[in-house]
Amino acid sequence: MTQLDRLSVYHWLNAWCIKPVGGALVRQEPEYILLALMGSPLKKIMLCSSEKEIFSVEEQVMVQHSVIINNMIEDGSYNHEESKIPLDCVDSKTLKKVIDYCTHHTHHHNDNQEDLEAWDAQFLNVDSNGLYDLLMAANYLEIRNLLDLIYGTIKNMIKGKKIDEIRRIFNIKDHGFTPEEEEQNRKEYPHFY
Amino acid sequence: MVWGQYANFQCFSNSVKNVVGTTEKAHFRNELILSEPQMDNPPSATLSPPPWEVLVLVAHYLDPKTLAIASCVSNSWSSSMSSDHLWIPFLTAHFPSLSNLPSSSADAVSCRRLFGIGHSAVKRRRKNPTKLKLSLADLVFAVSISSADSSVFSVTKSGESLVMDPPGVFRFDVGFGSDGAAVEESLKEVKITWNVILKGWREVFTMMSCKGKINFVAGAEGWFSKELPAPGCCSSAVGSAVVADMYVGLMCGGKRSNGKVKVNKVSVGILSVVDWRYISVQDGLRYLQHFLLT
């Protein structure tokens, strides 16, 4: 399938994306029709976390979101039958979350903006380190929309707040400045305190 | 065959679980069924301090103000958020005139500091006009033109009754027609005064007090101006950009006037010498506020 020009087939199939299901005419995702026509099952890829746990994901889902994985598959180095993609920087818990995110956004990309945002907000309700692990994983895998989401969240935690508030939010007990440095900061940016 | 296989995929379902469950199990080992998004985590109440890798990544994403706030939070935050390579793009974008300072000066300065002082310089330059507490109704204008022997024209007018000429600028007609005495046609030396008095005789400010010459001929005009002092704390070396300006128009007295002329029209105003326009009423009142109200 990698030899075919996916884009042109996609466009052709877009015109044929109507399939009767149970008597009703329903719009069908072209990728699935394409795969079905090619006679192959839904292409899956295997991701291996740092803890050596294997996760099976639809190829389309990961390829759509992660630039790194897309590049790996595009240049043909990934053999669907045997290979698995090792992700030594990402632990199982985080990888599971990342896959969750990508899958939801692929299958729900037609949803309205509010629903997606609500899901995203719920998605980010993780414990303290989970958020940072997600950020590192999204950075490693180059998942642009997840990165923007997490950056935006952290930025909102800092933006427009006083320094003491930020220290409380991020649980920074000791700011580590010498008294002179702290004094200088207060003089330079009095409105931040 | 194809569609039958298709039916099992159930691509409309929200969870991938169904797709995985029905057809794929046999092919993969250690397969995890992807479940619905985790709903059992309580909303995060506390975060732990972020590791430096996170700080470095986030730093690239922030705007200058947030970056400055972040660099004051703690020591480790400061080292990630203060680095020059983060601040140089902001400096060149917002204050291009300052952007060559780090390299040209012998005394090292961080780009973050430069951005900070550039920002406050802009704020200081942006003059916030002082609150206007004076209004025309609080003022009385007293204008007099007198020659060596007699008064040619003298009028005292309350601010409310003044007519702006043209509207919106600090220029007023203070008298015309019958207010003046008739004077013989000649070239006379006159003394002109214009005082602005705060109603109730609380304060006075002399706008102009000077000598000049008016050729008392029918239809003649005279223009007089006097530099005004700079308001505020500057010494007299730093002059103001405005002058007090007076226009005197003469009319002929007609047949019965025995060759005498009268002052027909007198206008006073504050003129800006930068662009040769009369300043607005608000600016004029603000100027006077400096001298009349403490």
Q: What is the least distance, in Å, from the CA of B232 to any CA of chain A? A: 27
Do residues B148 and B255 both lie within one domain? yes
Report which of B40, B125, B32, B288 is spatially closest to residue A125, judged by C-alpha positions.
Answer: B40
Averaged over B270-276, what is the pLDDT? 90
B175 in a structural domain: yes
Beta carbons of B49 and A171 less than 8 angstroms apart: yes
Q: Report the residue of B3, B12, B34 to disrupt the A interface, i.e. the one with the largest count of A CBs within 10 Å.
A: B34
Averaged over B169-186, what is the pLDDT? 76
CATH code for residues A44-158: 3.30.710.10
Q: What is the least distance, in Å, from the CA of A71 to any CA of chain B? A: 22
The CA dihedral of B59, B65, B66, B72, to the nearest 10 degrees, is: 90
> pLDDT of B84-133, one tens digit each?
889 999 999 999 888 888 777 777 788 888 898 899 899 888 877 778 88
B 205-264: CB under 8 A from A: none
The verdict on B57 touching A (C-beta cutoff 8 Å) is yes
Q: Integer distance in angstroms from the first to the last C-alpha of chain B?
A: 95
Scan for tokens 């902001």, then name that residue: B90
> pLDDT of B201-216, one tens digit each?
889 999 999 998 888 8
B131 in a structural domain: no
pLDDT of residue B67: 92
Show the tokens assigned to B170: 């600090």
B 66-95: CB under 8 A from A: 66, 68-70, 72-78
Q: Report the residue of B11, B56, B67 to disrupt the A interface, i.e. the one with the largest count of A CBs within 10 Å.
A: B11
The enclosing H or E element of A47 equals strand A44-48
Query: What is this model's ipTM?
Result: 0.72
DSSP helix/strand/coil, B186: coil
> pLDDT of B154-168, one tens digit each?
888 888 888 887 788
The pLDDT-based confidence of B44 (bands split at 50, 70, 90) is very low
Please state the length of chain B: 294
DSSP B208-270: EEEEEEEE--TT-EEEEEEEPPPPTT--TTS--SEEEEEEEEEEE--GGGTTEEEEEEEEEEE
Higher pLDDT, A177 or B4: A177
pLDDT of residue B27: 42
Q: Select the residue of B14, B44, B76 nearest A128 (Cβ to Cβ).
A: B44
pLDDT of residue A150: 92
Beta carbons of B142 and B153 less than 8 angstroms apart: no
Q: Report the residue of A29, A56, A133 to disrupt the B interface, i.e. the one with the largest count of B CBs within 10 Å.
A: A56
B223 in a structural domain: yes
| Beta bridge mates, B267 | B173, B247
User: Cα separation of A111 and A191, whole Å?
Assistant: 42
Do residues B149 and B245 both lie within one domain? yes
DSSP B102-140: HHH-SS---HHHHHHHHHHHHHHHSPPPPP----GGGEE
Tell me the chain B residues in contact with residue A136 when contact means C-beta distances shorter than 8 Å: 53-54, 57
pLDDT of residue B39: 36
- Cα B183 to chain center, whole Å? 48
Q: What is the least distance, in Å, from the CA of A100 to any CA of chain B? A: 7
Do residues B285 and B196 both lie within one domain? yes
Q: Select the residue of A28, A53, A104 nearest B30 (Cβ to Cβ).
A: A53
Do residues B193 and B275 both lie within one domain? yes
Tell me the chain B residues in contact with residue A33 when contact means C-beta distances shorter than 8 Å: 6
Please judge whether A126 and B24 are an interchain contact, meaning their C-beta atoms are less than 8 angstroms apart.
Answer: no
Do residues B88 and B206 both lie within one domain? no
**pTM of the model as a whole:** 0.60
pLDDT of residue B1: 40
Please judge whether A172 and B6 are an interchain contact, meaning their C-beta atoms are less than 8 angstroms apart.
Answer: no
Domain closes at, from B125, B146, B174? B125
Do residues B142 and B222 both lie within one domain? yes
**Chain A residue with Cα closest to B7:** A21
Break chain B down into helix, strand, coil percent, rounded to 5: 35, 30, 40
Q: Hey, which bits of A51-151 come out as E strands?
A: 54-58, 85-86
Please judge whether B57 and A135 are an interchain contact, meaning their C-beta atoms are less than 8 angstroms apart.
Answer: yes
The pLDDT-based confidence of B23 (bands split at 50, 70, 90) is very low
Do residues B121 and B12 both lie within one domain? yes
* Low-confidence winner among A113-117, A182-186, B101-105 (lowest mean pLDDT): B101-105
> How many independent structural domains does chain B possess?
2
Please report, for residues B156, B171, B281, the alpha-carbon distance to residue B136 in angstroms, rounded to integers and kept in the order given: 14, 12, 9
Higher pLDDT, A78 or B95: B95
User: Cα separation of B182 and B172, whole Å?
Assistant: 23
Q: Select the residue of B2, B16, B72 nearest A36 (Cβ to Cβ).
A: B2
* Res B175 pLDDT > 60: yes
The verdict on B23 touching A (C-beta cutoff 8 Å) is yes
Do residues B121 and B140 both lie within one domain? no
Domain ranges of chain A: 6-38, 44-158
DSSP helix/strand/coil, B2: helix
B72 in a structural domain: yes
Q: Mean pLDDT of all residues in chain B?
A: 78
Domain closes at, from B125, B151, B186? B125
Do residues B168 and B286 both lie within one domain? yes
Higher pLDDT, B256 or B246: B246
Please judge whether A175 and B73 are an interchain contact, meaning their C-beta atoms are less than 8 angstroms apart.
Answer: yes
Do residues B168 and B263 both lie within one domain? yes
Beta carbons of A141 and A95 less than 8 angstroms apart: no
According to the per-residue pLDDT averaged within each range, which of A16-30, B64-78, B182-196 is highest?
A: B64-78
Averaged over B130-151, what is the pLDDT? 87
Range of the domain at B110: 2-125
